Chains A and B, each alone.
Chain A
Amino acid sequence: MEYFLQLFFSGLTRGSIYALIALGYTMVYGIIQLINFAHGEIYMIGAFVALIVAGVCTIYGLSGVSILILAGVIAVIYACAYGYTLEKVAYRPLRGAPRLAPLISAIGMSIFLQNYVLLAQTSDFLPFPRLIPDFAFMEPVAHIIGSPELVILVTTVVTMILLTLLIKKTRVGKAMRATQQDMNMARLVGVNVDRIISMTFIIGSGLAAIGGVLVASYIGQVNFYIGFLAGVKAFTAAVLGGIGSIPGAVIGGLVLGWAESFAAGYISSAYEDVFTFGLLVLILTLRPAGILGKARKQKV
Protein backbone atom coordinates (compact mmCIF):
# COMPACT_ATOMS: atom_id res chain seq x y z
CA MET A 1 0.00 0.00 0.00
CA GLU A 2 2.81 2.34 0.91
CA TYR A 3 4.52 1.52 -2.34
CA PHE A 4 1.31 2.20 -4.17
CA LEU A 5 0.97 5.59 -2.51
CA GLN A 6 4.56 6.41 -3.30
CA LEU A 7 3.96 5.62 -6.94
CA PHE A 8 0.70 7.49 -6.83
CA PHE A 9 2.34 10.66 -5.60
CA SER A 10 5.38 10.42 -7.81
CA GLY A 11 2.99 9.93 -10.75
CA LEU A 12 0.98 12.91 -9.62
CA THR A 13 4.10 15.07 -9.36
CA ARG A 14 5.37 13.99 -12.69
CA GLY A 15 1.94 14.33 -14.25
CA SER A 16 1.46 17.82 -12.96
CA ILE A 17 4.72 18.89 -14.57
CA TYR A 18 3.66 17.28 -17.85
CA ALA A 19 0.40 19.14 -17.51
CA LEU A 20 2.17 22.47 -17.07
CA ILE A 21 4.17 21.98 -20.23
CA ALA A 22 1.28 20.40 -22.10
CA LEU A 23 -0.80 23.53 -21.52
CA GLY A 24 1.58 25.50 -23.70
CA TYR A 25 1.23 22.99 -26.51
CA THR A 26 -2.48 22.74 -26.28
CA MET A 27 -3.11 26.48 -26.11
CA VAL A 28 -0.94 27.18 -29.12
CA TYR A 29 -2.38 24.26 -31.03
CA GLY A 30 -5.91 25.30 -30.19
CA ILE A 31 -5.40 28.65 -31.83
CA ILE A 32 -3.05 28.14 -34.75
CA GLN A 33 -3.01 24.33 -35.15
CA LEU A 34 0.75 24.19 -34.81
CA ILE A 35 2.81 21.66 -32.91
CA ASN A 36 5.25 24.07 -31.37
CA PHE A 37 8.20 21.73 -31.34
CA ALA A 38 10.42 24.36 -29.78
CA HIS A 39 8.21 24.49 -26.70
CA GLY A 40 10.38 21.90 -24.95
CA GLU A 41 13.35 24.17 -25.58
CA ILE A 42 11.57 27.06 -23.90
CA TYR A 43 11.13 24.79 -20.92
CA MET A 44 14.84 24.00 -21.03
CA ILE A 45 15.79 27.66 -21.33
CA GLY A 46 13.59 28.44 -18.35
CA ALA A 47 15.39 25.80 -16.33
CA PHE A 48 18.76 27.06 -17.48
CA VAL A 49 18.07 30.68 -16.65
CA ALA A 50 16.89 29.59 -13.22
CA LEU A 51 20.08 27.60 -12.81
CA ILE A 52 22.16 30.62 -13.73
CA VAL A 53 20.34 32.89 -11.30
CA ALA A 54 20.33 30.32 -8.52
CA GLY A 55 23.94 29.40 -9.24
CA VAL A 56 25.16 32.97 -9.11
CA CYS A 57 23.22 33.57 -5.91
CA THR A 58 24.52 30.48 -4.15
CA ILE A 59 28.06 31.19 -5.22
CA TYR A 60 27.73 34.64 -3.70
CA GLY A 61 26.48 32.98 -0.57
CA LEU A 62 22.72 33.37 -0.75
CA SER A 63 20.40 30.42 -0.32
CA GLY A 64 16.92 29.29 0.57
CA VAL A 65 13.45 29.15 -0.89
CA SER A 66 13.42 32.88 -1.64
CA ILE A 67 16.27 32.36 -4.08
CA LEU A 68 14.26 29.65 -5.77
CA ILE A 69 11.37 32.07 -6.11
CA LEU A 70 13.67 34.78 -7.49
CA ALA A 71 15.20 32.32 -9.93
CA GLY A 72 11.71 31.16 -10.88
CA VAL A 73 10.45 34.67 -11.54
CA ILE A 74 13.44 35.60 -13.69
CA ALA A 75 13.18 32.28 -15.53
CA VAL A 76 9.51 32.90 -16.27
CA ILE A 77 10.23 36.41 -17.54
CA TYR A 78 12.92 35.12 -19.85
CA ALA A 79 10.89 32.18 -21.06
CA CYS A 80 8.04 34.54 -21.89
CA ALA A 81 10.44 36.77 -23.82
CA TYR A 82 11.79 33.78 -25.70
CA GLY A 83 8.31 32.47 -26.45
CA TYR A 84 7.23 35.85 -27.75
CA THR A 85 10.31 36.20 -29.95
CA LEU A 86 10.02 32.64 -31.17
CA GLU A 87 6.52 33.23 -32.44
CA LYS A 88 7.43 36.52 -34.09
CA VAL A 89 10.49 35.19 -35.85
CA ALA A 90 9.67 31.62 -36.74
CA TYR A 91 5.90 31.32 -36.95
CA ARG A 92 4.26 34.65 -37.72
CA PRO A 93 5.83 35.01 -41.17
CA LEU A 94 4.42 31.57 -41.95
CA ARG A 95 0.80 32.32 -41.27
CA GLY A 96 -1.16 30.97 -44.20
CA ALA A 97 1.72 28.85 -45.48
CA PRO A 98 1.25 25.14 -46.21
CA ARG A 99 0.73 23.15 -43.04
CA LEU A 100 4.09 21.44 -42.94
CA ALA A 101 6.05 24.68 -43.21
CA PRO A 102 5.53 25.94 -39.65
CA LEU A 103 6.14 22.44 -38.33
CA ILE A 104 9.53 22.24 -40.05
CA SER A 105 10.26 25.76 -38.89
CA ALA A 106 9.45 24.61 -35.35
CA ILE A 107 11.77 21.63 -35.62
CA GLY A 108 14.46 23.94 -36.95
CA MET A 109 13.92 26.34 -34.08
CA SER A 110 14.14 23.48 -31.63
CA ILE A 111 17.50 22.40 -33.05
CA PHE A 112 18.68 26.00 -33.11
CA LEU A 113 17.80 26.74 -29.51
CA GLN A 114 19.30 23.51 -28.22
CA ASN A 115 22.59 24.23 -29.91
CA TYR A 116 22.50 27.86 -28.94
CA VAL A 117 22.34 26.88 -25.28
CA LEU A 118 24.95 24.20 -25.87
CA LEU A 119 27.34 26.75 -27.34
CA ALA A 120 26.59 29.56 -24.95
CA GLN A 121 26.83 27.31 -21.92
CA THR A 122 28.00 23.73 -21.87
CA SER A 123 27.04 20.25 -22.88
CA ASP A 124 27.61 18.92 -19.35
CA PHE A 125 24.90 18.27 -16.85
CA LEU A 126 25.08 21.09 -14.33
CA PRO A 127 23.93 20.44 -10.77
CA PHE A 128 21.06 22.62 -9.68
CA PRO A 129 21.53 24.00 -6.16
CA ARG A 130 19.30 22.38 -3.60
CA LEU A 131 17.01 25.17 -2.50
CA ILE A 132 13.99 23.36 -1.09
CA PRO A 133 14.59 22.41 2.53
CA ASP A 134 12.95 19.37 4.09
CA PHE A 135 9.97 20.80 5.87
CA ALA A 136 9.60 19.55 9.42
CA PHE A 137 5.86 19.08 9.11
CA MET A 138 6.41 16.69 6.22
CA GLU A 139 8.43 14.35 8.43
CA PRO A 140 5.69 11.81 9.14
CA VAL A 141 4.80 11.28 5.49
CA ALA A 142 8.25 11.83 4.02
CA HIS A 143 8.58 8.20 2.94
CA ILE A 144 5.54 8.64 0.70
CA ILE A 145 5.78 12.22 -0.42
CA GLY A 146 8.78 14.48 0.07
CA SER A 147 9.05 18.23 0.45
CA PRO A 148 10.08 18.91 -3.14
CA GLU A 149 7.05 16.97 -4.37
CA LEU A 150 4.85 19.01 -2.10
CA VAL A 151 6.30 22.24 -3.45
CA ILE A 152 5.74 21.05 -7.00
CA LEU A 153 2.16 20.03 -6.31
CA VAL A 154 1.27 23.24 -4.52
CA THR A 155 2.90 25.38 -7.17
CA THR A 156 1.17 23.61 -10.04
CA VAL A 157 -2.20 23.71 -8.36
CA VAL A 158 -1.85 27.44 -7.69
CA THR A 159 -0.66 28.04 -11.23
CA MET A 160 -3.56 26.08 -12.68
CA ILE A 161 -6.05 28.00 -10.61
CA LEU A 162 -4.56 31.29 -11.74
CA LEU A 163 -4.59 30.14 -15.34
CA THR A 164 -8.21 29.05 -15.07
CA LEU A 165 -9.16 32.42 -13.63
CA LEU A 166 -7.24 34.18 -16.36
CA ILE A 167 -8.97 32.22 -19.07
CA LYS A 168 -12.45 32.21 -17.60
CA LYS A 169 -12.69 35.67 -16.17
CA THR A 170 -10.43 38.16 -17.88
CA ARG A 171 -10.92 40.00 -21.12
CA VAL A 172 -7.79 38.47 -22.60
CA GLY A 173 -8.88 35.01 -21.56
CA LYS A 174 -12.23 35.43 -23.21
CA ALA A 175 -10.57 36.74 -26.35
CA MET A 176 -8.28 33.72 -26.32
CA ARG A 177 -11.20 31.34 -26.12
CA ALA A 178 -13.07 33.22 -28.81
CA THR A 179 -10.04 33.20 -31.11
CA GLN A 180 -9.64 29.51 -30.61
CA GLN A 181 -13.26 28.83 -31.50
CA ASP A 182 -13.46 31.05 -34.56
CA MET A 183 -10.51 33.19 -35.49
CA ASN A 184 -12.13 35.30 -38.17
CA MET A 185 -15.21 35.92 -36.07
CA ALA A 186 -12.97 37.08 -33.24
CA ARG A 187 -11.48 39.57 -35.67
CA LEU A 188 -14.96 40.71 -36.57
CA VAL A 189 -15.74 41.65 -32.98
CA GLY A 190 -12.51 43.60 -32.78
CA VAL A 191 -10.00 41.16 -31.32
CA ASN A 192 -6.44 41.78 -32.44
CA VAL A 193 -5.73 38.16 -33.21
CA ASP A 194 -2.00 38.63 -33.65
CA ARG A 195 -1.75 40.03 -30.16
CA ILE A 196 -3.78 37.14 -28.77
CA ILE A 197 -1.47 34.64 -30.45
CA SER A 198 1.52 36.42 -28.93
CA MET A 199 -0.20 36.30 -25.54
CA THR A 200 -0.77 32.59 -25.94
CA PHE A 201 2.88 31.98 -26.61
CA ILE A 202 3.87 34.16 -23.68
CA ILE A 203 1.55 32.42 -21.24
CA GLY A 204 2.45 28.96 -22.49
CA SER A 205 6.14 29.72 -22.24
CA GLY A 206 5.76 31.06 -18.72
CA LEU A 207 4.01 27.85 -17.68
CA ALA A 208 6.74 25.77 -19.26
CA ALA A 209 9.38 27.75 -17.39
CA ILE A 210 7.60 27.13 -14.10
CA GLY A 211 7.69 23.45 -14.95
CA GLY A 212 11.35 23.70 -15.89
CA VAL A 213 12.37 25.36 -12.65
CA LEU A 214 10.42 22.87 -10.58
CA VAL A 215 11.86 19.86 -12.34
CA ALA A 216 15.39 21.25 -12.26
CA SER A 217 15.28 21.86 -8.55
CA TYR A 218 13.63 18.48 -7.98
CA ILE A 219 15.90 16.34 -10.11
CA GLY A 220 18.87 18.54 -9.30
CA GLN A 221 20.49 18.89 -12.70
CA VAL A 222 20.10 20.72 -15.99
CA ASN A 223 21.42 20.16 -19.47
CA PHE A 224 20.71 21.60 -22.91
CA TYR A 225 18.94 18.43 -24.01
CA ILE A 226 16.32 18.04 -21.26
CA GLY A 227 13.75 19.96 -23.26
CA PHE A 228 13.36 17.39 -25.97
CA LEU A 229 12.01 14.41 -24.08
CA ALA A 230 10.00 16.57 -21.72
CA GLY A 231 8.53 18.31 -24.74
CA VAL A 232 7.63 15.10 -26.53
CA LYS A 233 6.01 13.64 -23.43
CA ALA A 234 4.10 16.80 -22.69
CA PHE A 235 2.88 16.93 -26.23
CA THR A 236 1.81 13.33 -25.89
CA ALA A 237 -0.08 14.34 -22.78
CA ALA A 238 -1.78 17.14 -24.67
CA VAL A 239 -2.82 14.78 -27.46
CA LEU A 240 -3.97 12.17 -24.95
CA GLY A 241 -6.23 14.67 -23.28
CA GLY A 242 -7.50 16.02 -26.57
CA ILE A 243 -5.38 18.71 -28.08
CA GLY A 244 -6.81 22.19 -27.92
CA SER A 245 -8.60 21.44 -24.66
CA ILE A 246 -7.14 23.01 -21.53
CA PRO A 247 -8.69 20.60 -19.01
CA GLY A 248 -7.68 17.89 -21.46
CA ALA A 249 -4.03 18.86 -21.10
CA VAL A 250 -4.26 18.55 -17.33
CA ILE A 251 -6.02 15.21 -17.47
CA GLY A 252 -3.65 13.97 -20.17
CA GLY A 253 -0.66 15.02 -18.07
CA LEU A 254 -1.95 13.23 -15.01
CA VAL A 255 -2.89 10.07 -16.89
CA LEU A 256 0.54 10.00 -18.43
CA GLY A 257 2.28 10.67 -15.13
CA TRP A 258 0.43 7.87 -13.39
CA ALA A 259 0.79 5.47 -16.27
CA GLU A 260 4.53 5.97 -16.30
CA SER A 261 4.90 5.86 -12.58
CA PHE A 262 2.86 2.68 -12.11
CA ALA A 263 4.29 0.98 -15.14
CA ALA A 264 7.80 1.77 -13.99
CA GLY A 265 7.02 0.72 -10.43
CA TYR A 266 5.16 -2.50 -11.11
CA ILE A 267 6.37 -3.66 -14.49
CA SER A 268 9.68 -2.31 -15.66
CA SER A 269 11.30 1.07 -15.39
CA ALA A 270 13.36 0.51 -18.50
CA TYR A 271 10.28 0.38 -20.68
CA GLU A 272 8.67 3.48 -19.21
CA ASP A 273 8.65 5.34 -22.51
CA VAL A 274 7.20 2.36 -24.30
CA PHE A 275 4.20 2.51 -21.99
CA THR A 276 3.89 6.22 -22.60
CA PHE A 277 3.65 5.88 -26.33
CA GLY A 278 1.82 2.59 -26.19
CA LEU A 279 -0.87 4.32 -24.20
CA LEU A 280 -0.94 7.11 -26.73
CA VAL A 281 -1.42 4.73 -29.63
CA LEU A 282 -4.08 2.84 -27.72
CA ILE A 283 -6.12 5.88 -26.79
CA LEU A 284 -5.86 7.48 -30.18
CA THR A 285 -6.94 4.28 -31.85
CA LEU A 286 -9.99 4.05 -29.63
CA ARG A 287 -10.71 7.76 -29.44
CA PRO A 288 -8.94 9.55 -32.27
CA ALA A 289 -9.62 12.98 -30.80
CA GLY A 290 -8.21 12.24 -27.35
CA ILE A 291 -9.94 11.88 -24.01
CA LEU A 292 -11.69 15.26 -23.94
CA GLY A 293 -11.25 16.21 -27.56
CA LYS A 294 -14.19 16.82 -29.80
CA ALA A 295 -14.29 15.20 -33.16
CA ARG A 296 -14.90 18.05 -35.56
CA LYS A 297 -17.33 17.34 -38.29
CA GLN A 298 -15.77 18.46 -41.48
CA LYS A 299 -17.90 20.30 -43.94
CA VAL A 300 -18.07 18.86 -47.40
Chain B
Amino acid sequence: MLKIQNIQTFYGNIQALKDVSIEIEEGEIVALIGANGAGKTTTLMSICGISPPRSGDILLDGDSIKGVAADKIVQKGIVQVPEGRRIFPDLTVQENLEMGAFLRKNKRLIQQDLNYVMTLFPILEKRRTQLGGTLSGGEQQMLAISRALMARPRVLLLDEPSLGLAPLIIKQIFEIIRKINKESNTTIFLVEQNANQALKLADRGYVMENGRITLVDSADKLLANDDVRKAYLGI
Protein backbone atom coordinates (compact mmCIF):
# COMPACT_ATOMS: atom_id res chain seq x y z
CA MET B 1 0.00 0.00 0.00
CA LEU B 2 2.88 2.36 0.77
CA LYS B 3 5.78 2.09 -1.58
CA ILE B 4 8.99 4.06 -1.33
CA GLN B 5 11.07 3.84 -4.45
CA ASN B 6 14.75 4.76 -4.55
CA ILE B 7 14.42 8.05 -2.75
CA GLN B 8 17.37 10.37 -2.17
CA THR B 9 16.95 13.08 0.42
CA PHE B 10 19.34 15.89 1.20
CA TYR B 11 19.82 18.28 4.08
CA GLY B 12 21.60 21.17 2.45
CA ASN B 13 24.57 19.51 0.85
CA ILE B 14 24.47 16.44 3.01
CA GLN B 15 22.81 13.41 1.55
CA ALA B 16 20.79 11.77 4.29
CA LEU B 17 19.07 9.06 2.28
CA LYS B 18 20.70 7.09 -0.48
CA ASP B 19 18.49 5.08 -2.75
CA VAL B 20 16.07 3.95 -0.09
CA SER B 21 13.26 1.61 -1.09
CA ILE B 22 10.67 0.26 1.32
CA GLU B 23 7.37 -1.49 0.76
CA ILE B 24 4.61 -1.77 3.29
CA GLU B 25 1.52 -3.92 2.82
CA GLU B 26 -1.88 -3.11 4.25
CA GLY B 27 -2.32 -4.23 7.85
CA GLU B 28 1.36 -4.99 8.35
CA ILE B 29 3.68 -3.86 11.09
CA VAL B 30 7.03 -3.03 9.55
CA ALA B 31 10.03 -1.98 11.58
CA LEU B 32 12.93 0.15 10.43
CA ILE B 33 15.90 -0.27 12.71
CA GLY B 34 19.30 1.30 12.70
CA ALA B 35 21.75 3.29 14.76
CA ASN B 36 21.53 6.93 15.62
CA GLY B 37 21.97 9.12 12.60
CA ALA B 38 21.36 6.31 10.12
CA GLY B 39 18.58 8.25 8.41
CA LYS B 40 15.51 6.67 9.96
CA THR B 41 13.84 9.89 11.01
CA THR B 42 14.65 11.45 7.64
CA THR B 43 12.86 8.53 5.99
CA LEU B 44 9.71 9.33 7.93
CA MET B 45 10.01 13.05 7.29
CA SER B 46 10.39 12.32 3.58
CA ILE B 47 7.22 10.25 3.58
CA CYS B 48 5.31 12.96 5.41
CA GLY B 49 6.37 15.75 3.11
CA ILE B 50 8.42 17.70 5.65
CA SER B 51 11.72 16.95 3.91
CA PRO B 52 10.68 15.87 0.42
CA PRO B 53 13.15 13.66 -1.45
CA ARG B 54 15.09 15.15 -4.32
CA SER B 55 14.62 12.09 -6.49
CA GLY B 56 12.80 8.77 -6.39
CA ASP B 57 9.12 8.37 -5.68
CA ILE B 58 6.71 7.64 -2.86
CA LEU B 59 3.47 5.90 -3.77
CA LEU B 60 0.34 5.47 -1.71
CA ASP B 61 -2.05 2.98 -3.26
CA GLY B 62 -0.17 3.49 -6.50
CA ASP B 63 -0.52 7.28 -6.53
CA SER B 64 2.56 9.43 -6.11
CA ILE B 65 2.60 11.57 -2.98
CA LYS B 66 6.05 12.94 -3.60
CA GLY B 67 6.10 16.70 -3.35
CA VAL B 68 2.59 16.84 -1.93
CA ALA B 69 2.24 19.31 0.95
CA ALA B 70 2.49 17.84 4.44
CA ASP B 71 -1.09 18.66 5.40
CA LYS B 72 -2.44 16.99 2.25
CA ILE B 73 -0.51 13.84 3.09
CA VAL B 74 -2.17 13.73 6.49
CA GLN B 75 -5.48 14.04 4.68
CA LYS B 76 -4.58 10.97 2.65
CA GLY B 77 -4.23 8.98 5.85
CA ILE B 78 -0.53 8.92 6.60
CA VAL B 79 0.02 10.18 10.12
CA GLN B 80 3.24 10.37 12.07
CA VAL B 81 4.11 10.21 15.74
CA PRO B 82 7.42 12.01 15.55
CA GLU B 83 10.57 11.42 17.51
CA GLY B 84 10.59 13.19 20.84
CA ARG B 85 6.77 13.19 20.89
CA ARG B 86 6.47 16.86 20.03
CA ILE B 87 3.39 17.50 22.07
CA PHE B 88 2.13 21.09 21.77
CA PRO B 89 3.38 22.16 25.18
CA ASP B 90 0.97 25.02 25.79
CA LEU B 91 -2.17 23.28 24.60
CA THR B 92 -4.15 21.12 27.00
CA VAL B 93 -4.30 17.38 26.57
CA GLN B 94 -7.79 17.73 25.19
CA GLU B 95 -6.71 20.42 22.73
CA ASN B 96 -3.74 18.35 21.66
CA LEU B 97 -6.12 15.53 20.84
CA GLU B 98 -8.45 17.88 19.01
CA MET B 99 -5.51 19.09 16.96
CA GLY B 100 -5.00 15.48 15.94
CA ALA B 101 -8.46 15.52 14.41
CA PHE B 102 -7.82 18.89 12.79
CA LEU B 103 -8.84 17.86 9.29
CA ARG B 104 -11.97 15.98 10.28
CA LYS B 105 -15.38 17.57 10.31
CA ASN B 106 -17.73 15.04 11.86
CA LYS B 107 -18.07 16.12 15.49
CA ARG B 108 -19.79 12.93 16.59
CA LEU B 109 -17.10 10.65 15.19
CA ILE B 110 -14.38 12.83 16.69
CA GLN B 111 -16.03 12.55 20.09
CA GLN B 112 -16.24 8.81 19.62
CA ASP B 113 -12.55 8.58 18.85
CA LEU B 114 -11.77 10.83 21.78
CA ASN B 115 -13.51 8.35 24.02
CA TYR B 116 -11.72 5.48 22.34
CA VAL B 117 -8.23 6.86 22.98
CA MET B 118 -9.20 7.65 26.55
CA THR B 119 -10.07 4.00 27.08
CA LEU B 120 -6.82 3.06 25.39
CA PHE B 121 -4.88 5.33 27.74
CA PRO B 122 -7.01 6.06 30.81
CA ILE B 123 -4.36 8.39 32.21
CA LEU B 124 -5.21 10.93 29.50
CA GLU B 125 -8.74 11.21 30.86
CA LYS B 126 -7.26 12.28 34.18
CA ARG B 127 -4.90 14.76 32.57
CA ARG B 128 -7.49 16.15 30.17
CA THR B 129 -7.24 19.83 31.16
CA GLN B 130 -3.54 19.80 31.94
CA LEU B 131 -1.06 21.46 29.58
CA GLY B 132 0.76 19.03 27.32
CA GLY B 133 4.13 20.29 28.43
CA THR B 134 3.53 19.28 32.04
CA LEU B 135 3.08 15.58 31.30
CA SER B 136 5.76 13.01 32.02
CA GLY B 137 7.65 11.42 29.15
CA GLY B 138 5.53 8.29 29.11
CA GLU B 139 2.28 10.24 29.26
CA GLN B 140 3.48 12.44 26.44
CA GLN B 141 4.19 9.40 24.32
CA MET B 142 0.69 8.13 24.99
CA LEU B 143 -0.73 11.50 24.11
CA ALA B 144 1.32 11.63 20.93
CA ILE B 145 0.05 8.25 19.81
CA SER B 146 -3.50 9.19 20.72
CA ARG B 147 -3.20 12.47 18.86
CA ALA B 148 -2.13 10.60 15.76
CA LEU B 149 -5.01 8.13 16.16
CA MET B 150 -7.45 11.03 16.27
CA ALA B 151 -6.75 11.53 12.57
CA ARG B 152 -7.98 7.99 11.87
CA PRO B 153 -4.78 7.07 10.06
CA ARG B 154 -4.55 4.32 7.51
CA VAL B 155 -0.81 4.22 7.97
CA LEU B 156 0.65 5.14 11.33
CA LEU B 157 4.31 6.10 11.36
CA LEU B 158 5.99 5.83 14.75
CA ASP B 159 9.41 7.33 15.35
CA GLU B 160 11.23 5.88 18.35
CA PRO B 161 8.24 5.46 20.62
CA SER B 162 10.47 3.92 23.29
CA LEU B 163 12.92 6.80 23.43
CA GLY B 164 13.82 7.75 26.97
CA LEU B 165 11.05 5.71 28.56
CA ALA B 166 11.22 3.21 31.38
CA PRO B 167 11.00 -0.48 30.39
CA LEU B 168 7.60 -0.96 31.94
CA ILE B 169 6.10 1.89 29.98
CA ILE B 170 7.80 0.78 26.80
CA LYS B 171 6.19 -2.58 27.24
CA GLN B 172 2.81 -0.98 27.72
CA ILE B 173 3.19 1.22 24.68
CA PHE B 174 4.28 -1.61 22.45
CA GLU B 175 1.27 -3.63 23.55
CA ILE B 176 -1.00 -0.76 22.62
CA ILE B 177 0.66 -0.47 19.24
CA ARG B 178 -0.06 -4.13 18.63
CA LYS B 179 -3.62 -3.59 19.75
CA ILE B 180 -4.12 -0.65 17.39
CA ASN B 181 -2.83 -2.76 14.56
CA LYS B 182 -5.12 -5.68 15.42
CA GLU B 183 -8.28 -3.80 16.28
CA SER B 184 -8.50 -1.27 13.51
CA ASN B 185 -6.25 -2.95 10.98
CA THR B 186 -4.02 0.14 10.94
CA THR B 187 -0.83 -0.33 8.99
CA ILE B 188 2.16 0.52 11.16
CA PHE B 189 5.63 1.61 10.18
CA LEU B 190 7.83 1.67 13.23
CA VAL B 191 11.24 3.27 13.46
CA GLU B 192 13.28 2.08 16.40
CA GLN B 193 16.69 1.91 17.87
CA ASN B 194 15.44 -0.61 20.36
CA ALA B 195 15.83 -3.37 17.80
CA ASN B 196 14.82 -6.31 19.92
CA GLN B 197 11.52 -4.83 21.00
CA ALA B 198 10.69 -3.50 17.58
CA LEU B 199 11.42 -6.75 15.78
CA LYS B 200 9.41 -8.75 18.27
CA LEU B 201 6.42 -6.61 17.47
CA ALA B 202 6.89 -6.34 13.72
CA ASP B 203 6.09 -8.70 10.89
CA ARG B 204 8.98 -7.56 8.78
CA GLY B 205 11.98 -5.38 9.28
CA TYR B 206 14.40 -3.18 7.40
CA VAL B 207 17.86 -2.38 8.68
CA MET B 208 19.30 1.00 7.83
CA GLU B 209 22.91 2.10 7.95
CA ASN B 210 24.28 5.43 6.82
CA GLY B 211 21.24 6.31 4.79
CA ARG B 212 21.01 2.97 3.02
CA ILE B 213 18.86 -0.07 3.55
CA THR B 214 21.28 -2.89 4.22
CA LEU B 215 18.99 -5.76 5.18
CA VAL B 216 15.36 -6.71 4.58
CA ASP B 217 13.81 -9.78 6.07
CA SER B 218 11.06 -11.12 8.25
CA ALA B 219 11.33 -9.92 11.78
CA ASP B 220 12.14 -13.35 13.24
CA LYS B 221 14.98 -13.88 10.85
CA LEU B 222 16.40 -10.46 11.55
CA LEU B 223 16.24 -11.14 15.26
CA ALA B 224 18.30 -14.24 14.76
CA ASN B 225 20.70 -12.55 12.36
CA ASP B 226 24.24 -12.37 13.68
CA ASP B 227 25.01 -9.13 11.89
CA VAL B 228 22.08 -7.43 13.55
CA ARG B 229 23.12 -8.66 16.95
CA LYS B 230 26.65 -7.51 16.34
CA ALA B 231 25.62 -4.13 15.08
CA TYR B 232 23.58 -3.45 18.16
CA LEU B 233 25.62 -4.99 20.89
CA GLY B 234 29.08 -5.17 19.50
CA ILE B 235 29.20 -8.78 20.62
CB B124 to nearest CB in A, in angstroms, measures 16
Q: Encode contact with B along A72-88: 1 for CB under 8 Å, 0 otherwise.
A: 00000000000000000
Q: Encode contact with B along A141-171: 1 for CB under 8 Å, 0 otherwise.
A: 0000000000000000000000000000001
Tell yes or no: B98 within 8 A of A by CB: yes
Interface residues of A in 168-224 (CB under 8 A from B): 171, 174-175, 177-178, 181-182, 184-193
Q: Mark the stretch among B69-77, B168-176, B181-189, B227-235 that contacts chain A.
A: B69-77
Q: A189-B151, A190-B71, A190-B75 are in contact. Are A175 and B48 (CB under 8 A)?
A: no
Contacts of B103 in A (CB 8 A): 189-190
Cβ B98 vs Cβ A187 within 8 A? no
Q: Mark the stretch among B21-29, B78-86, B192-200, B218-226 that contacts chain A.
A: B78-86
Q: Encode contact with A along B126-152: 1 for CB under 8 Å, 0 otherwise.
A: 000000000000000000000110010
- Give the nearest-CB partner of A171 in chain B: B102
A171, A175, A189: the one within 8 Å of B74 (CB) = A189
Cβ A189 vs Cβ B89 within 8 A? no
- Give the nearest-CB partner of A245 in chain B: B90
Q: A185-B86, A189-B147, A190-B103 are in contact. Are A174 and B91 (CB under 8 A)?
A: yes
Tell yes or no: B161 within 8 A of A by CB: no
Chain B contributes a number of interface residues (CB within 8 A of A) equal to: 25
From A187, A188, A190, name the one whose CB has the most chain B CB atoms within 10 angstroms: A188
B50, B88, B91, B100: the one within 8 Å of A187 (CB) = B50
Cβ B75 vs Cβ A177 within 8 A? no
Q: A181-B91, A185-B82, A189-B151 are in contact. Are A174 and B99 (CB under 8 A)?
A: yes
Tell yes or no: B203 within 8 A of A by CB: no
Cα distance A115–B82 in the bound complex, in angstroms: 47
Cβ A189 vs Cβ B102 within 8 A? yes
Cβ B90 vs Cβ A177 within 8 A? yes
B49, B88, B100: the one within 8 Å of A182 (CB) = B88
CB B50 to nearest CB in A, in angstroms, measures 6
Cβ B102 vs Cβ A177 within 8 A? no
Q: Encode contact with B along A114-126: 1 for CB under 8 Å, 0 otherwise.
A: 0000000000000
Tell yes or no: B19 within 8 A of A by CB: no
Q: A171-B102, A185-B82, A185-B86 are in contact. Are A191 and B91 (CB under 8 A)?
A: no
Contacts of B209 in A (CB 8 A): none
Contacts of B91 in A (CB 8 A): 174, 177-178, 181
Cα distance A187–B89 in the bound complex, in angstroms: 16
Cα distance A190–B76 in the bound complex, in angstroms: 10
Cβ B102 vs Cβ A184 within 8 A? no
Q: A177-B88, A178-B88, A181-B88 are in contact. Are A188 and B99 (CB under 8 A)?
A: no
Q: Which residues of A contact B (CB under 8 A)?
A: 171, 174-175, 177-178, 181-182, 184-193
| A171-B102, A184-B50, A187-B70 known, 6 other contacts, Cβ within 8 Å | A177-B95, A187-B48, A187-B74, A188-B50, A188-B74, A191-B71
9 A-B pairs with the lowest CB-CB distances in the bound complex, closest first: A190-B74, A187-B70, A190-B103, A185-B86, A181-B88, A190-B71, A192-B71, A190-B102, A178-B88
